[in-house]
């Protein structure tokens, strides 16, 4: 076994991470943790004001680009721009997504397709644009934000469940194609995390909050930084033999009763 200095094995110095949905919530938490670990981070999203505010919080080594990932034909131009302005992308974080809470029988094909396009086709367009360069350099990581809905049934989110479940299959498929070329592909499946969005949802619904805490063995919500540091690990040399996995960061929710 080669000796490693403890912090260095988790360092992302020299890496450039493109993070979709990176301006807020879990995406920003991943950006902040990766930035803290030494990576240059490029925040991508649709809202200029949120991205600019997030970049300002991070400071030097962070930048942002306004981009809609559902514009599938624009992925190559985005990657070319980031490569030109910041450098080759060595870590792609497919985190952007939309939610749809609706009974399954009321979910229209158009609504279903919109969720799939954002989570799956938008992510695949970026993979197609980014990964060839990683393969050429024989170095890169791709991360996806999966969900508890990837692992078990949750009512009223059928389109989201389909998208997040398919995502886990894509991670396995990409990993088998790319890993021999030095490109690892993994996912993180967050449990119930305390964000502004979740607070709004749960504070007015004590029964739902009690149900969540009741099925989470650690009996609490996670924090966004829990996801951020998991992303750092999976993108770092510490995880150099880890590919094709979906890592639940969920306080035990996916195994609890």
pLDDT in tens, the chain (257 residues): 566 677 899 999 999 999 999 999 999 999 999 999 999 999 999 999 999 999 999 999 999 999 999 999 999 999 999 999 999 999 999 999 999 999 999 999 999 999 999 999 999 999 999 999 999 999 999 999 999 999 999 999 999 999 999 999 999 999 999 999 999 999 999 999 998 878 887 888 899 899 999 999 999 999 999 999 999 999 999 999 999 999 999 999 999 97
Cβ atoms of residues 46 and 66 within 8 Å: yes
- pLDDT at position 1: 55
**Distances 41 to 15, 37, 82 between C-alpha atoms, Å:** 8, 11, 10
Q: Which of 95, 74, 83, 65 has the alpha carbon at shortest distance from 137?
A: 83
Identified catalytic residue from 28, 160, 192, 229: 160
What span, in angstroms and rounded, lies between the C-alpha atoms of 34 and 13?
Answer: 9
Cβ atoms of residues 94 and 145 within 8 Å: yes
pTM of the shown model: 0.95
Assess if residue 3 is contained within a domain: no
Judged by DSSP in three states, 125 sits in: helix
- pLDDT at position 236: 98
CATH of the domain at 184: 3.40.50.720
Assess if residue 110 is contained within a domain: yes
Q: Which two tokens stand for residue 120?
A: 């799956």
User: Is 174 noted as a catalytic residue in this protein?
Assistant: no
Assess if residue 205 is contained within a domain: no
- pLDDT at position 49: 97
Domain limits for position 77: 8-195+223-247
Assess if residue 111 is contained within a domain: yes
What span, in angstroms and rounded, lies between the C-alpha atoms of 120 and 50?
Answer: 23
- pLDDT at position 3: 66
Buried b (16+ CB within 10 A) or exposed e, 95-127: bbbbebeeeeeebeeeebeebbbbbbebbebbb
Assess if residue 215 is contained within a domain: no
List 190's β-bridge partners, or say none: 249
- pLDDT at position 255: 95
Cβ atoms of residues 76 and 50 within 8 Å: no
DSSP 127-167: HHHHHHHHHHHT-EEEEEE--GGGTS--TTBHHHHHHHHHH
Assess if residue 207 is contained within a domain: no
Quote the number of domains for the chain. Answer: 1
Assess if residue 87 is contained within a domain: yes
- pLDDT at position 203: 86
DSSP state of 33: H
Q: Which of 177, 89, 87, 77 has the alpha carbon at shortest distance from 133?
A: 89
Assess if residue 94 is contained within a domain: yes
- pLDDT at position 69: 97
């Amino acid at each position: 076994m080669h000796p490693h200095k403890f912090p260095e094995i988790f360092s992302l110095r020299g890496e450039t991470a493109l993070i979709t949905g990176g301006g807020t919530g879990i995406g920003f938490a991943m950006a902040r943790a990766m930035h803290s670990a030494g990576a240059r981070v490029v925040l991508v999203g649709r809202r200029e004001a949120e991205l600019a505010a997030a970049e300002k919080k991070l400071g030097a080594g962070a930048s942002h680009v306004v981009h809609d990932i559902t514009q599938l034909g624009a992925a190559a131009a985005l990657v070319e721009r980031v490569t030109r302005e910041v450098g080759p992308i060595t870590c792609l974080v497919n985190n952007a997504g939309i939610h749809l809470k609706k009974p399954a029988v009321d979910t229209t094909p158009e609504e279903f397709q919109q969720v799939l396009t954002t989570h799956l086709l938008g992510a695949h367009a970026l993979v197609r644009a980014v990964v060839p360069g990683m393969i050429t350099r024989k170095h890169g990581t791709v991360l996806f934000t999966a969900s508890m809905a990837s692992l078990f049934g949750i009512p009223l989110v059928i389109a989201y469940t389909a998208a997040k479940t398919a995502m886990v299959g894509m991670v396995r498929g990409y990993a088998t194609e790319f890993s021999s070329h030095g490109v690892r592909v993994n996912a993180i499946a967050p449990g119930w995390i305390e964000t502004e969005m979740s607070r709004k949802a749960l504070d007015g619904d004590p029964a739902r909050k009690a149900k969540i805490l009741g099925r989470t063995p650690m009996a609490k919500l996670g924090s966004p930084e829990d996801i951020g540091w998991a992303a750092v690990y999976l993108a770092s040399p510490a995880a150099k033999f880890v590919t094709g996995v979906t890592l639940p960061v969920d306080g035990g929710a996916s195994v609890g009763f």
